[in-house]
């Protein structure tokens, strides 16, 4: 059995606020790179292409990303026009309807969507859990037209559940023939002491049964990023981690020993905030397994181990986790991560798909984690 977790960062469209946050985090680096290219006496065609891409990322010309549409009723049909230029009549039953609506998301480039499918098909898992999905329809279309178009078997089971996420992102679960999803549970309505949702996103439980009769319990969660308020975030992170650890202990006492916990925890493994999961719970991180594999960083970074990274030679910050119960950890045949869809910045550098030419074409900022387990 091969199981995988992937924070795919949406499939076809992403909330504007999240796009703006990404731009803010990288703006100074892009400006420095653009100025360096601008001051060169001669530039190659590839460098000119990079300058065009940087000008788009820095929004020198943002006409193609106007967040508003004009809506007009013409001969019984609604027509839309970008922008808000010109006067508009007030909408009423006496006039032709005309108004405007704000669009809260931006499309993801088709090359990036195809790269997302490439990352998944590089592993071809039997069970796949995808974080940050916009809706069920997108998940269906992605499975039908992108994952299957790479010549892989489509997933039989496909479920999407919404969460508490403020940007409307949910979690998708996919499984192939032979791995039947027999139950699913959400903790989206659980409350903390202040009578507010305990989970910023959710904790979802899935029970799979193989054709041989083996049950597998999989849990998926997501702790939101900290933003600028670190201390409140850490407190909530520790609260959620402690709750999950107690639930894991309860499940294991009830003989549900085949357990997997996965998700984006947005903290390094040494953080005390997630210690209830990484140290106290009877779960083991696949990065600690001797057969954990990933293509190493290029150059001297291959021999370097940055604090908070996945492992020596894989110097990207660990935010995503795939943890197994002791019996499943002992049955691992192979495991690892795929980061060929992640666009590197300056250093470290690693092998990526040839189609990942820039940030716009990147599949995600997160790697895919996977484990092959002997049943």
Q: What angle do CA 372, 374, 375 make, to 5 degrees?
A: 120
Burial environment of residue 342 by CB neighbours within 10 A (0 to 12, 13 to 18, 19 or more): buried
Given a contact cutoff of 8 angstroms between Cβ atoms, the answer to whether 371 and 3 are in contact is: yes
pLDDT at 80 over 50: no
123 pLDDT higher than 90: yes
E-only strand ranges, the chain: 2-7, 13-15, 68-74, 77-82, 98-102, 105-107, 127-133, 157-161, 170-175, 179-186, 203-210, 215-222, 259-264, 283-285, 292-293, 309-311, 314-317, 320-325, 332-338, 368-373
The residues, ordered by sequence, that sit 6+ positions from 57 with a Cβ below 8 Å of its Cβ are 23, 26, 30, 359, 360
Return the closest-CA partner of residue 369 out of 140, 56, 172, 122.
Answer: 122
CA separation for the pair 94, 83 (Å, rounded): 25
Q: How far is CA 154 from the centre of its chain?
A: 20
Mean of the pLDDT values across residues 121-141? 96
pLDDT at 82: 46
- 26-34 contacts, C-beta under 8 A, 24 or more apart: 26/57, 26/345, 26/359, 27/58, 29/345, 29/346, 30/54, 30/57, 30/58, 31/58, 34/58
Specify the pLDDT at position 154: 78
Quote the tokens at residue 61: 């010309």
Phi/psi for 233 (5° steps) reads -65, -45
Per DSSP bridges, beta strands 127-133 and 2-7 are parallel
Average pLDDT, the chain: 87
Long-range contacts of 13-17 (CB under 8 A, 24+ apart): 13/105, 13/106, 13/107, 13/108, 13/134, 13/138, 14/105, 14/106, 14/108, 14/134, 15/104, 15/105, 15/167, 15/168, 15/169, 16/67, 16/103, 16/104, 16/105, 16/106, 17/167
CB 305 within 8 A of CB 312: yes
pLDDT band at 171, cuts 50/70/90?
A: very high
Distance, CA of 47 to CA of 51 (rounded, Å): 6
Q: What is the pTM of this model?
A: 0.85
Helix, strand, coil share (%) of the chain residues, nearest 5: 30, 30, 40
Q: What is the pLDDT of residue 52?
A: 81
pLDDT in tens, 200-258: 999 999 999 999 999 999 999 999 876 556 788 889 999 999 999 999 998 887 766 79
Question: What is the DSSP pairing of strand 13-15 with strand 68-74?
Answer: unpaired
- Is it the case that residue 160 has pLDDT exceeding 90? yes
pLDDT at 36 over 90: no
Q: Which pLDDT score, from 0 to 100, does residue 178 have?
A: 94
In the chain, where are the structural domains located? Answer: 2-14+107-373, 18-63, 69-102
Helix 45-57 vs helix 16-38: crossing angle, to nearest 10: 140
Report the chain's terminal Cα–Cα distance, integer Å.
Answer: 7
Closest CA to 241 of 199, 285, 206: 199
Which segments of 154-254 does DSSP mark as H helices, in order? 230-253
CATH architecture of 2-14+107-373: 4-Layer Sandwich (3.60)
């Amino acid at each position: 059995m091969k199981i995988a977790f992937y924070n795919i960062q949406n499939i076809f469209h992403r909330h504007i606020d999240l796009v703006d946050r990404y731009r803010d985090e990288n703006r100074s680096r892009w400006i420095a790179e653009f100025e360096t290219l601008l001051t060169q006496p001669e530039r190659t065609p590839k460098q000119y292409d990079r300058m065009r891409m940087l000008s788009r990322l820095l929004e020198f010309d943002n006409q193609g990303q106007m967040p508003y549409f004009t809506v007009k009723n013409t001969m019984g049909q609604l027509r839309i026009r970008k922008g808000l230029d010109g006067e508009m009549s007030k909408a009423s039953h006496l006039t032709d309807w005309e108004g405007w609506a704000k669009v809260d998301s931006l499309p993801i480039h088709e090359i990036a969507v195809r790269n997302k499918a490439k990352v998944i098909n590089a592993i071809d898992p039997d069970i796949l859990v995808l974080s940050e999905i916009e809706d069920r329809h997108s998940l269906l279309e992605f499975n039908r037209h992108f994952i299957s178009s790479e010549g892989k078997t489509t997933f039989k089971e496909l479920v999407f559940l919404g969460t508490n996420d403020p940007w409307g992102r949910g979690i998708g679960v996919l499984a192939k023939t032979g791995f039947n999803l027999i139950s699913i549970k959400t903790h989206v309505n659980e409350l903390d002491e202040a009578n507010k949702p305990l989970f910023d996103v959710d904790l979802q439980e899935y029970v799979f049964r193989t054709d041989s009769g083996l049950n597998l319990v999989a849990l998926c969660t997501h702790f939101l990023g900290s933003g600028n308020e670190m201390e409140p975030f850490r407190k909530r992170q520790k609260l959620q981690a402690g709750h999950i650890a107690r639930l894991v202990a309860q499940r294991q006492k009830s003989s549900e020993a085949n357990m997997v916990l996965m998700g984006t925890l947005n903290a390094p493994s040494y953080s005390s905030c997630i210690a209830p999961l990484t140290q106290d719970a009877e779960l083991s991180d696949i990065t600690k397994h001797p057969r954990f594999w990933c293509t190493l960083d290029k150059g001297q970074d291959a021999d370097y181990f940055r604090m908070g990274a996945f492992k020596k030679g894989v110097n990207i910050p660990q935010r995503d986790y795939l943890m197994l119960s002791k019996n499943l950890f002992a049955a691992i045949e192979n495991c690892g991560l795929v980061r060929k869809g992640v666009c590197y910045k300056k250093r470290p550098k690693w092998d990526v798909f040839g189609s990942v030419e820039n940030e716009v074409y990147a599949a995600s900022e997160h790697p895919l984690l996977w484990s092959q387990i002997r049943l």
